[in-house]
Amino acid sequence: MPRLPDWLIYVLVLVGLLWVLSRVDEQADAPPAPPAELEAPAAPGGVDGPLLPGPSQFDPEVMVEVGPVASGVGTAFAIDKDGWWLTARHVVDACDRVGVVVGRGRAVEAMEVRIARFADLALIKTDRAPEPLKLDLSEDDFRIGQTAFHIGYPQGRPGEAATRLIGRETLIARGRYELEEPVLAWAELGRTKGVIGTLAGMSGGPVFDAQGRVVGVTIAESARRGRIYTAAPASIVQLLKLNAVDPKGAPAPELTLTNYGLEADKLRRALAVAPVVCVANEP
C-alpha cells in the first residue's frame, strides 16, 4: 500500500498546528475546570434530564467560518474492518492527498474520500481498519444533561474532553463551502491534564456515551462559551446510507469522568482513533 514519505508527515504535523487554529469560529482558552460538585453526574451516565426534543426551526444558530484548503491534521476513527473511517468534512475536503497516521512518521494513504454535501462529515477508505468502533445513532435515549466524551488530537496532540448535552442548534458554515445543518451542542465539564486552549484538531473525532458507544462526530467548538458541537446522528446515518456503508464495530469500555483519559489512550494505541492528514498543493 502506498505511504506518505516520512519527511512529509513531520512537516504536516508542524503545519497542522497552525492550520487547525484557523478552522474554528471563536479562538480563546477554554473555561477553567468545573467545580468539584459537577465532576460526578447526578445519575449513572448523567442521563437524568428530559428527552432531547427533535430539530426545530427555532433552534439557536452558531456561525462557523471555513477557511481555504490547507495542509494539516485532524482526527478520524474506524467504523468497520473493511477500512472505512469517519471524520469531519472540513478536515479532508479539497485535499490533494489524505492519509491516516498509523505510527511515528508513517501514514496510510486513503484510497477514497467521500464528503457529505449536507453536513460537516466525510468518509475515508483504506484497505482495512484495525479496531472499528460501535455506532449508536438512534437518538431515542438522548437526554439533556447526559455525559459524553470527545477523543482526538487537539492541536495535533492526543487529548480528550468531557461534556454534558445542552440541546440542538443549527450550524451555519460559510467560506470554502456553505451549508446549514442540525448539530448537538455540549457544554464542557473538563479536560484531561495538559489539554489547554483550542480543541481544533479534534475535529472528526468520535463522541462516546457512558456505555462506550459512538453517538456523534466532533465538528466545531466555541471556546469562549465552553461549547463543543457534534454532527447530528441523523446526518451520519444519511451519509452512511448514501454510500452503502454498513458499520460494524465493538463498543469501547464504559467511560466515566475519572477513567476517560486512560481509555482514550487505549483507543489511540489500538488505532481505533487516529490522526488524519491533509496534503494540499497550496499556491
Backbone angles phi, psi at 20, to 5 degrees: -65, -30
Question: Can you give the pLDDT at residue 114?
Answer: 97
- Percent of the chain topping pLDDT 70: 82
User: HSE (CB half, 13 Å, CA atoms) of 69?
Assistant: 16
**Range of lowest pLDDT (4-13, 58-67, 245-254, 274-283):** 4-13
Q: How far apart are CA 21 and CA 24, in angstroms?
A: 7
Residue percentage of the chain with pLDDT more than 90: 69
11/167 Cα distance (integer angstroms): 39
What pLDDT shows up at residue 150? 98
* Contact of 227 with 221, CB cutoff 8 Å: yes
Which 8-state DSSP code applies to residue 133? B
Compute the distance between CA of residue 262 and CA of residue 120 in angstroms, rounded to an integer. Answer: 28
**Mean pLDDT computed over 59-86:** 94
Q: What is the CA radius of gyration of the chain?
A: 17
Indicate whether 19 pLDDT > 70. no
Q: Is pLDDT above 50 for 137? A: yes
The three-state secondary structure class of 218 is: strand
Q: Domain ranges for the chain, please list them.
A: 6-279
Q: Is 176 helix (H, G, I), strand (E, B) or coil?
A: coil
Q: What angle do CA 75, 133, 269 make, to 5 degrees?
A: 60
As a whole number of angstroms, the distance between CA 272 and CA 270 comes to 5
Question: CATH for 6-279?
Answer: 2.40.10.120
What are 38's three cell numbers? 459537577
| Average pLDDT, rounded, for the chain | 85
> Are 241 and 189 spatial neighbours (Cβ–Cβ below 8 Å)?
no
Question: What is this structure's pTM?
Answer: 0.84
Q: What is the mean pLDDT of residues 37-47?
A: 42
* 90 alpha-carbon distance from chain centroid: 11
Cβ-contact 270, 129 below 8 angstroms: no
- The position carrying cell 448539530 is 183
Residue 16 confidence (pLDDT): 43
| DSSP-H helix ranges across 162-283 | 233-242, 260-269
- Say what the pLDDT of residue 239 is: 98
